[in-house]
Amino acid sequence: MAVENQCCCTQTNEAELYPELEKIIAEHQGKPEDLIMVLHKAQNLFGYLPRKVQEMVAEGLGVSLNEVYGVITFYAFFSTVPKGRHSVKVCLGTACYVRGGQRVIEKIKKELSLKVGGTTEDRRYSLDVVRCIGACGLSPAILVNDDVYGRVKITKLAEILERYE
Amino acid sequence: MINLTINGQNIQVEEGATILEAALKADIHIPTLCYLPEVQAIGACRVCLVEIEGNRNLQAACVFPASEGLVVHTNSERVRLARKFSVEMLLSNHPMECLTCARNLNCELQKIAEEMGIREVRFTGEKSEGYIDDFSPSIRRDQSKCILCRRCVTVCQEIQSVSAIFAQGRGFETKVEPAFDASLNDMACTFCGQCSLVCPVGAITEKEDIDEVWAALADPTKIVIAQDAPAVRAALGEEFGYPPGTLVTGKMLAAVRRLGFDRVFDTNFTADLTIIEEGNELLKRVKEGGVLPLITSCSPGWIKFIEHFYPTLLTHLSTCKSPHQMLGALVKTYYAEKAGINPKDMVVVSVMPCTAKKFECNRPEMNDSGYKDVDYVLTTRELAKMIRQAGIDFRNLEDDIYDDPLGEYTGAATIFGATGGVMEAALRTAYEVATGKTLENVDFTAVRGLEGIKEASVPIEGIGEVKVAVAHGLGNARKLMEKIKDGSADYHFIEIMACPGGCVSGGGQPIPVNNEIRRLRAEALYQEDRSLKYRKSHENPSIKRIYEEFLGTPLGEQSHHLLHTKYTARSRF
């Protein structure tokens, strides 16, 4: 899922992506069982899953829009809002959780005024929770794009985030 | 066969049976909540837990298969405590509003809590976010009461093939609702109300119009007129302790009159009228090469389904309004003139087995009398509530009869309430009208019963073999629509009812409903059919009279204006 962390410039070229989406859907036409796979591909393409994409997937695979949305909201991986230029992921695996991961989240939420799963208005950051990134020894850990930060101190968070324009 | 032991009792069951089914066979009661026979067994609620020797964990009886030599305990200390724990967990996130809930005294959660003797809920804490969606005219959802059993999701998806609601989100945040936090009113919901029939609690109910109807009845300037659909008389009795399948036509009419209605007409009258209009429409299409197959239009849930999901097939629909809308239009024109009442002072209330009819009576095209043709629709359940509110002793009422001239009906009309009934009624009349001969055996049993799609072929002189099909439940309707789309449907006429079983198990009927109850209610209607003097719609003397006095000819100008309608293509989303 390499595309996920890259800039997807949704506002400028989203319309151009629809023919590509149509191609993906055509490969899975009338196959409700392929829903998760198609949503994966669609999210890679768009960076998120806007309503129109959901409707096209529903129509193409023969699934209700309500079911498509149910699957999207069940899996934390899927997003219905555009992702920011930089992805901030806070680990809430067991080790990070007991070492204050929740406090890290609260601080970022306050600092950037956004909620988990959301994106800042300037599309600079988006915030997600992940379960264990294999850095338990460094707990609490966060991931900004592909960079891991361990033993994160709440007082240092602003400084870390500033590095990502 | 498999041999197993439950509570020390040896039981033999067929291969593939679950422990719950095995227990039922031996009259051992295991409480269930999310389980719904014929529809859903998912082991989600953990209320049917049982102890199986050799199994470390307790198992859900509704999904655990019976196997040879199994030793099961359904009433051990461990089982009772575990079940109680499950129910307490549900209650810890449930608003304790039983006294003001629409399902008070008919709630499965309430009943189970009582059976288990729960006197306190030991767990307190955060509760799920709740809200009320009452934007549609038909269905009211109270999210705070939802226990996430998913019965409504399964019925909507697997039986009705609509999927207007789905489990959204996960964990504590899970809600059963449409996508995008939308109201059902804004989604492709047919308002069939099957969800409200299977909801074990008060999370999905009809949107009540009881207060509005009481207000009309209390207004001395209004003439308030009731009409009752055929399926109501076959089920209303259940609300007053009668066994399913008890026909209560006379008591129902008496009760409605005691509520204060000024006139009591019968939707069966316009069911007969529908047969005349629709029958002529069919003959016209066959003769003139119109769009075939012709499909019935009595079921407003079905109408909304085809508008959303098959808008290109709308020309197949009969243009006939549903019978209660026909009656509303006639009351405010024909009857108003006859009785010398200003139609603006009339209030027409339809008592229906249906939640979709609440939506239907608010459609903008249903104003052909110059006024809103039907002002309010009450479900069978709402009528029962009003009867109780009025302190009427239903069981001891003397039988009453409907008022003239919009009350007389035939057996053909009353069977409209069961799947296949409209088709059977149409065949009785089509045969005699087309051939001029008397039909010896009026019972077309091939179109009766609960098989999902029924087909028949009837030779009618002068036309040839008339091929018909009957579908009930929207999943079955969808199958027929796909056949029409791919060109493999060579029928002349199709009857479709949105609800499985037809109107007898419509979304507004008494709860619970299952196939046995569907069968018994339908049998009550066939019994009424057999008991009536006239059993063919065209023999109804009041029908003959209304054509002479008012309507002129079937499909004529007056009929076209008052009895027929048009449809709206809608989006799937």
Q: What is the domain-level CATH number for residue A130?
A: 3.40.30.10
| One domain for residues B316 and B365 | yes
In a domain, B529, yes or no: yes
Q: In this complex, which of A59, A66, A74 lies closest to B179 when CB atoms are compared?
A: A66
Task: Report yes or no: B166 at the A interface, CB cutoff 8 Å.
Answer: yes
Grouping H, G, I as helix, E, B as strand and the rest as coil, residue B116 is coil
- Whether residue A10 is predicted with pLDDT greater than 70 in this model: the reply is no
- DSSP character for A134? S
- Whether residue A2 is predicted with pLDDT greater than 60 in this model: the reply is no
In a domain, A80, yes or no: no
In a domain, B216, yes or no: yes
Phi first, then psi, for residue B279 (nearest 5°) are -60, -45
Q: Measure in Å the smallest separation between the Cα of A68 and chain B Cα atoms.
A: 8
- Which residue of A66, A80, A81 to mutate against B (max B Cβ within 10 Å)? A66
Q: What is the CATH number of the domain that holds B30?
A: 3.10.20.740
Burial class (CB in 10 A: 0-12, 13-18, 19+), B518: buried
**Bridge partners, B497 (sequence order):** B472
Q: Which of B366, B350, B392, B403 is nearest to B230 (CA)?
A: B350
- pLDDT at position A83 is 87
Burial class (CB in 10 A: 0-12, 13-18, 19+), B499: buried
pTM beyond 0.90: the answer is yes
Domain encompassing residue B55: 2-92
| One domain for residues B461 and B409 | yes
| One domain for residues B75 and B145 | no
- Whether residue A7 is predicted with pLDDT greater than 70 in this model: the reply is no
| One domain for residues B515 and B548 | yes
Question: Which residues in chain B have their CB less than 8 angstroms from residue A65's CB?
Answer: 179, 187-188, 572-573
Task: Report yes or no: A68 at the B interface, CB cutoff 8 Å.
Answer: yes
| One domain for residues A97 and A138 | yes
Kind and range of the H or E run holding B381: helix B380-389
- The answer to whether the beta carbons of residues B529 and B457 sit under 8 Å apart is no
Q: Is A65 close to B573, i.e. CB distance below 8 A?
A: yes
| One domain for residues A70 and A90 | no
Q: Is residue B278 among the annotated active site residues?
A: yes
- pLDDT at position A76 is 83
| SS3 track for B436-454 | CCCCCCCCCHHHCCCCCEE
In a domain, B104, yes or no: no
In a domain, A81, yes or no: no
- The answer to whether the beta carbons of residues B379 and B490 sit under 8 Å apart is no
Query: What are A89's two structure tokens?
Result: 């992921």
Q: Is residue B144 among the annotated active site residues?
A: no
Q: Which residue of A has its CA nearest to B162?
A: A64
- Enumerate long-range contacts of A1-6, CB under 8 Å, 24 or more apart: A1/A40, A1/A44, A3/A44, A3/A45, A3/A47, A4/A43, A4/A44, A4/A47, A4/A83, A4/A87, A5/A87, A5/A145, A5/A146
Q: Is residue B440 among the annotated active site residues?
A: no
Task: Report yes or no: A69 at the B interface, CB cutoff 8 Å.
Answer: yes
Q: What is the CATH number of the domain that holds B182?
A: 3.30.70.20
- Cis peptide bond prior to B293, omega within 30° of 0: yes
Task: Report yes or no: B171 at the A interface, CB cutoff 8 Å.
Answer: no
**How many domains are there within chain A?**
2
| One domain for residues B137 and B84 | no
**Tens digit of each residue's pLDDT (9 = 90 or more) over A103-156:** 999 999 999 999 998 999 999 999 999 988 999 999 999 999 999 999 999 999
| One domain for residues B399 and B485 | yes
ipTM of the complex: 0.89
- Enumerate long-range contacts of B245-248, CB under 8 Å, 24 or more apart: B245/B517, B245/B520, B245/B521, B245/B523, B245/B524, B246/B524, B247/B524, B247/B525, B247/B527, B247/B528, B248/B394
Which of A74, A103, A119 finishes a domain? A74
Percent of chain A's residues with pLDDT above 90 = 82
Q: What gap in Å lies between CA B369 and CA A122, rounded to an integer?
A: 57
- pLDDT at position A12 is 52
Q: In this complex, which of B167, B572, B573 lies closest to A70 when CB atoms are compared?
A: B167
| One domain for residues A52 and A25 | yes
Question: Which residues in chain B have their CB less than 8 angstroms from residue A131's CB?
Answer: none
Which of B158, B187, B205 finishes a domain? B205
Q: Is A59 close to B170, i.e. CB distance below 8 A?
A: no
Task: Report yes or no: A66 at the B interface, CB cutoff 8 Å.
Answer: yes
| One domain for residues B482 and B536 | yes
- Annotated active-site residue in B21, B304, B503, B537: B503
Domain encompassing residue A109: 86-162
- The answer to whether the beta carbons of residues B244 and B512 sit under 8 Å apart is no
Residues with Cβ within 8 Å of residue A159, at least 6 apart in sequence: none
In a domain, B122, yes or no: no
In a domain, A63, yes or no: yes
| One domain for residues A96 and A150 | yes
Which of A25, A50, A74 finishes a domain? A74
Residues with Cβ within 8 Å of residue B78, at least 6 apart in sequence: B51, B58
Name the average pLDDT for chain A: 90
- The answer to whether the beta carbons of residues B19 and B135 sit under 8 Å apart is no
Q: What gap in Å lies between CA B46 and CA B89, rounded to an integer?
A: 10
Q: What gap in Å lies between CA B272 and CA B283, rounded to an integer?
A: 17
Using pLDDT thresholds of 50, 70 and 90, give the confidence band for residue A6.
very low
Q: Is B168 close to A70, i.e. CB distance below 8 A?
A: yes
Using pLDDT thresholds of 50, 70 and 90, give the confidence band for residue A77.
confident
Which residues of chain B, if any, have pLDDT below 70? none
Sign of CA dihedral B115, B120, B121, B122: negative
Task: Report yes or no: B168 at the A interface, CB cutoff 8 Å.
Answer: yes
